[in-house]
Homo-oligomer: A and B are copies of this chain.
Amino acid sequence: MAKDFITRKENYSEWYNELVVRADLAENSSVRGCMVIKPYGYAIWEKMQHTLDAMFKATGHQNAYFPLFIPKSFFEKEAEHVEGFAKECAVVTHHRLAKSPNGKGLVPDPEARLEEELIVRPTSETIIWDTYRKWIKSYRDLPILCNQWANVVRWEMRTRMFLRTAEFLWQEGHTAHETSQEAEEESVKMMHVYADFAEKYMAVPVVRGVKTANERFAGAVNTYCIEAMMQDGKALQAGTSHFLGQNFAKAFDVKYLSRDNKLEYVWASSWGVSTRLMGALIMTHSDDNGLVLPPALAPLQVVLVPIFKTEEEKNMIDSLANQLQTELKNKGISVKYDDDTKQKPGWKFNEYEFKGVPVRLTLGARDLKEGKVEIFRRDTCEKELRGTEGLSEYIEQLLKDIQQNLFDKAVKLRAEKTRNVDTWEDFKVEIEKGGFLMCHWDGTTETELKIKEETKATIRCIPIDAPEEEGKCIYTGKPSKQRVIFARNY
């Protein structure tokens, strides 16, 4: 384990906070609840963005950009939405600073008070549906399939880097459709896109499900979600996709002329993932030696570290390193040859290990004379000596193996920490151990809230692929037809 670095067992929460800072991913800024995403962290986020963006475009979506500010009155138009989003938010009241009357510093200029306050967007349904009203006249204008990459602000009281920050980066898709079915299909489709991304690129297994009424997005008819499990057994909601019905169309009076020539309200979906995914990525794979990154999202996939004494040795190593770099780059693999002499090999080993570079090759003069190099894989921390023959092909396959191994490991852990619980007595004991408890529930918000109050466990989702099964609610004993996932969560 890394020197001076706290272990997961000692304190999972502190381990995470320290890891984020020490791996150069992010740090807190001077602005309460806002973080600085450092270049290494941002490079991972960029890889996520590029992959997701391509997936959105492949499913027919286009990017656009809508204003940062939302007039206060817009929030008053959708009754549930205002409850959910217009509370803890950043309120812009003035458009100018002026010299303070006492001569010291600046104050908001009383002459420059806004007639109507502006809210820094916590999410953009309102401003976007205000815009869609102008775009939509007839069914010929539908569907509209827009996405935007943007920053949003929610004035969270307790913040944690990536997981919950006042400002965060995200994408939000907002679609408009002719029919209820089409809009709901879109939201289900995007849940699957998110799940595919999480599993194939992040190597994070997720449960696809639907939220209970109580956990639903404010203004949604149905909220689909993907739920991941962290190593400590806590759940993390990694993405949500909402079927909004006609709620926003009604609030913003967005109607279209239908195929049978009637004016109808438009149907909507919205869906988003955020820099929170970074938290999920970090917490799923990393270990007591630092960050572990799946190759598909690692900014640097392979690092080559030389060990040599003489110039002759260095030349020999250079020649292999150059060849390897060319071969790997041709395979689309990112590689760095770190022959900087300011740092010792040992320092470099620690550094790249801590930063989660999936594969490290040590090009040691001594080994090389025997035609061998040392290969270190970050996921298992195993080393092996190998001949240089076919090395780049071997590394290419190794990266795939690492990607798969990380996913398999996470699936295994999740399976170990997921179990059926059938009595309230068991529930209270089991919830303390963490993980997903698969339980029957009577379907009422009342019961859900009571369980939350007593145990801090929430219903993460009703899995979409759970089998029908007769049973009794663990809390009320009332009949139930399907198990749902209870867990404590981030």
Contact = CB atoms under 8 A, between A and B. Distances in A.
A163 interface: no
A212 B335 CA distance: 45
A68 interface: yes
B106 A67 contact: no
A119 B92 CA distance: 9
B36 A71 contact: no
Contact of A96 (B88, B93, B95, B120): B88
Given A34-B67, A39-B146, A46-B63, 20 more contacts: A29-B67, A31-B69, A31-B127, A37-B64, A39-B62, A42-B62, A45-B65, A68-B153, A72-B106, A87-B96, A89-B96, A91-B93, A91-B94, A91-B95, A91-B96, A92-B93, A93-B94, A95-B155, A150-B151, A151-B151
9 contacts: A39-B62, A39-B63, A42-B62, A46-B63, A93-B93, A97-B117, A97-B119, A120-B120, A151-B151
A70 interface: yes
A117 to B, nearest CB: 6
Contacts of A91: 92-97, 108
Contact of A120 (B36, B37, B92): B92
Nearest to A131: B36
A82 B99 CA distance: 11
A73 interface: yes
Given A27-B134, A71-B31, A72-B106, A66 B97 contact: no
A411 interface: no
A247 to B, nearest CB: 19
Nearest to A167: B68
Contacts of A73: 105
Contacts of A71: 30-31
Contacts of A14: none
A460 B300 CA distance: 43
Contacts of A89: 95-97
**How many copies of the chain does the oligomer comprise?**
2
A90 B95 contact: yes
Contacts of A251: none
Interface string A97-122: 10000000110100000000111100
Nearest to A37: B65
A67 B105 contact: no
A69 B108 contact: no
A43 interface: yes
Interface in A39-78: 39, 42-43, 45-46, 62-76
A45 B45 CA distance: 20
A63 B153 CA distance: 21
A55 to B, nearest CB: 16
Contacts of A108: 91, 93, 117
A223 to B, nearest CB: 23
Residue among A27, A118, A146 having the largest count of chain B Cβ atoms under 10 Å: A118
A86 interface: yes
Contacts of A342: 140
